[in-house]
Chain A
Amino acid sequence: MTLTRRSILSAGLALPVLGMPSLALAMPAADFAVKDTDGKVRTLAEFRGRIVVLEWLNRACPYTQKHYHGNMQGLQVSATRDGAVWLSVCSSARGQPGYWSDGAKARRWMEKNGSAATALLLDADGSMGRAFGAKVTPHMYVIDKAGALAYKGAIDDMASSKVDDIKRARNLVAAALADVHAGRPVATPLTPAYGCGIKYG
């Protein structure tokens, strides 16, 4: 696991050095095998041929809460309607804020909040989060149909915890999804994500 993680991370650093075209994120996304709220192991390979959106969340984080006033759910609905797979990921370690001790509790949270995600993955050992270099909640990733990372970063360009700021912000994930659907390289493929640090153990 450590080895694959390293090679993924170093692949990202090696590309510009090797003089590859500057399509910033032309690197394969890390595969993963993480259980969802039903205890079913989900992998990236399972969704080959579909666009995949990853959303790191922490229900105790005010930045996750900010976007769950409708913004995140709306994005989930429109992305999945367009054929994409939406995976929410919780990498909070046991005993840390946002950790779910069982899948049923996590499922109840999804229902209560009207989440339209395809699945919520419980990555309590943080292996998936670390493999992707996820740092904050929310940290957003868009993976194209070929399994390459197309976008990594913030959900929008207004780094704040205020719901009011959403309407003034530009949604970077929606923009990335539009680019990927249109077969264009993503205009802004990498942005600094903002939010709470992921509570790895």
Chain B
Amino acid sequence: MRLLIAVLALLFASPVMAAEVDTGHLKIEMVAQDASVAPGSTAYVALRQQIDAGWHTYWRNPGDSGEATKLTWTLPAGWKAGDIVWATPRTLPFGPLTNYGYSDAVVLPVPIEVPASAKPGPVTLEAVVDVLVCEKICIPETGKVSVTLTVAEGTPSPDARWGATVAAALAAAPKPAGLIATFQNAGALTLTVAGAPLKGADMTGAWFFPFLPTVIDHAKPQTAERGTDGLTLTLAPGYAFEAGKPPAAMDGVLVVGGKAYEIAATPGPAPAGVAGLGPPPSAAGPVGAVPKSGLLIAALTAFLGGLILNLMPCVFPVLSMKAASLAGHAHETRAARRQGLAYGAGVVVTFLVLAGVLIALQLAGQQVGWGFQLQSPPVVGVLALLMLAVALNMSGVFEIGTSLQGAGSGLAARGGLAGAFFTGVLAVVVASPCTAPFMAGALGFTLGQPPVIVLAVFLALSLGFAAPFVALAFAPALLRRLPKPGAWMDTLRKVLAFPMYGAAAWLVWVLSQQTDAPGLALALFALLLAAFGLWLWGLGPKLWRQGLALLLLLAAISLALQPQSAAQPAASETASAADLPSEAWSAERVAALRGEGKVVFVNFTAAWCVSCQVNDKVALSTEEVAKAMTATGAVYLKADWTNRNPEIAAALAEHGRAGVPLYLVYGPVLDEPQVLPQLLTPGTVADALRKAGKTGS
């Protein structure tokens, strides 16, 4: 008898009988881990789904819409099928909704209890599969699948074809791992998870998939903060929290660093060691997906961008300072070189400091980008003061010890070096609101990259920016062409003071876009105090005068720090672009207009972005553009980034940008928005609008 069973087992053992069923948009099949199973044991079979490209099926909690795959078994007496062992899902965003599910292919194991009384021989397990498969539209599909196993005593023999696949799916499925999870809903919903598997672990891409659809708002971002022993996720509470009695548990799957764990969170305070280390580096997103060679290209384009940045309008005032200084040293080769290098050092150091601050802020989870420092009214106020001080100095109202433009001799040369360094610092600070062609791509690349890469790109950028003047300092032939030092130098310096006054005026204008009327008045008063103080200082070295001057300057600085971002800036929107009617940008508005089949022009701008203002005047305010707008029925949306705005920062990042300007044209014939160059001409804009508006119908 034993022999007979063994022979039978061998006969039926391989391959397991199974057949693929095509339900329309996916192929399903029931497969088995083991070809022979022992009575009284638990065996695993699995539902394989091969999903058509672009379509998806759902996880146990489908998220905002959809429905989980269901199995209805027909089993021989005594056999029992357990619940599906769900594979780790992916988030599937769709407009304002987010679903959880699978695309391409998924293997969903199911435990089968083999009764102890099972007779040796073949057994067929049958299931009706109800699966909702969606692309844009959803189709409920049904298929009947079956798998035939052989009952035999002894060690089960794995299925030759699918054994490994099912075993791998079981191994990869999220399981509890002794993690302690708690949640609190005080102001924000925080989920904290700690335990040995998370100690010092890679925490990129942390995401919580709840089993219940009601506990969180699935479509909202989840922000993670790392700790030594675990992490904290800040979630948007779902309406289970609205109903007064908060949920008693929040169970689900935590995906972190490419691993998935099942967690059961209970209400309670956060354990120690789940925060304090900042957010994890972001997982490869659309930008991070740039290949490794991307760094070299980014560095090269950054260098090129830095070079061109010297030609952008915002840098002119500071370059006039540099020009004045260079003229003074033109005939002393050694001094000129040292000055050039000091200037270069100032540029490089400042860029790296800016990069450092940017990295720190981004690690702290802030949505910031290029030019971020000018989004703070106190910074703008103090910069305006600084510009005024430099201008007054160039006008000869006062001197600091040896002049900033110190000429030649030993001690003065040292003062001159500090001056040159400072010029470099100032050039970068003032240049930062401009992005030049090539720069945007390079900076966009650094978003979400590890700090080392951010620093590398910024270094390349700074070298490019410093290069022209440093090179000039090392080209005595060029310098010798300048006239010999003399009275003309003083005149030149005084003339070049006016672009600096202009820079101060521009910064006050920026401030007027950020703060309210009282805030602006404070800043103007600060400028007045500073001018008076510096004049006093310039009268000559009398202790009381200098003391008073310093007091006035301190008062001016503290006043300049006062203005705060106002919700409703004093200057109206019409001040910057009176000519074209525009609406405020929002991602939703863009979606709505696209839905109507409209051509949409989006202008990501900021008052402190000089290139943006230039484009407004040179291209966007022209009749040609206005005509094209009317002809195509285009809607002009403005995203004003003058003050900090995480939504705009996120939208910029989505297009691989870290700063403004960014111009996008959406149209019914375009799948993706067209990105316009950073220096616009009326023709480029009009052409892009017309192309986007060309509908077949």
Contact = CB atoms under 8 A, between A and B. Distances in A.
Please say whether chains A and B are actual partners in one complex: yes
Interface of A: 1-2, 5, 12-13, 15-17, 22, 24, 60-63, 93-97, 124-127, 130, 135-136, 159-162, 189-190, 192, 194-201
Nearest to A23: B244
B306 to A, nearest CB: 38
B97 A135 contact: yes
Given A125-B592, A130-B96, A130-B588, A62 B242 contact: no
A199 B592 contact: no
Contact of A24 (B70, B140, B244): B244
Contacts of B132: 62, 161
Given A16-B244, A194-B65, 19 more contacts: A16-B241, A60-B137, A62-B132, A63-B138, A93-B591, A124-B596, A136-B65, A159-B67, A160-B67, A161-B132, A190-B243, A192-B213, A195-B65, A197-B134, A197-B138, A198-B65, A198-B95, A199-B136, A201-B592
A12 B238 CA distance: 11
B591 A196 contact: no
Interface residues of B, number: 39
Given A13-B237, A190-B239, A125 B595 contact: yes
A60 B134 CA distance: 12
B202 to A, nearest CB: 32
**Interface residue SS majority, chain B:** mixed
B139 interface: yes
B99 interface: yes
A116 to B, nearest CB: 25
State the 6 A-B residue pairs at the shortest beta-carbon distance, nearest first: A22-B244, A201-B595, A93-B595, A197-B65, A200-B95, A161-B140
Nearest to A161: B140
A199 B140 CA distance: 17
A197 B66 contact: yes
Contact of A194 (B67, B70, B139, B594): B67
22 contacts: A2-B584, A13-B237, A16-B242, A16-B243, A24-B243, A24-B244, A93-B594, A97-B137, A124-B595, A130-B588, A135-B64, A135-B97, A160-B130, A190-B243, A192-B213, A192-B214, A195-B65, A196-B65, A196-B66, A196-B134, A197-B97, A201-B591
A20 B244 CA distance: 9
B219 to A, nearest CB: 9
A24 B586 contact: no
B594 to A, nearest CB: 5
A94 B65 contact: no
Nearest to B212: A192
Interface string B210-249: 0001100000000000000000000001010111110000
A197 B584 contact: no
B244 A62 contact: no
Contacts of A197: 64-66, 94-95, 97, 99, 134, 138
Nearest to B240: A190
A196 B245 CA distance: 29
B195 interface: no
B597 interface: yes
Contacts of B138: 61-63, 196-197
Interface in B113-149: 130, 132, 134, 136-140
B694 interface: no
B136 A96 contact: yes
Interface string B87-99: 0000000111101
Interface string B570-604: 00000000000000101011011111110000000
Most chain A beta carbons < 10 A, residue from B214, B595, B597: B595
A94 B595 contact: yes
Nearest to A98: B137
A22 B245 contact: yes
Contacts of A13: 237, 242
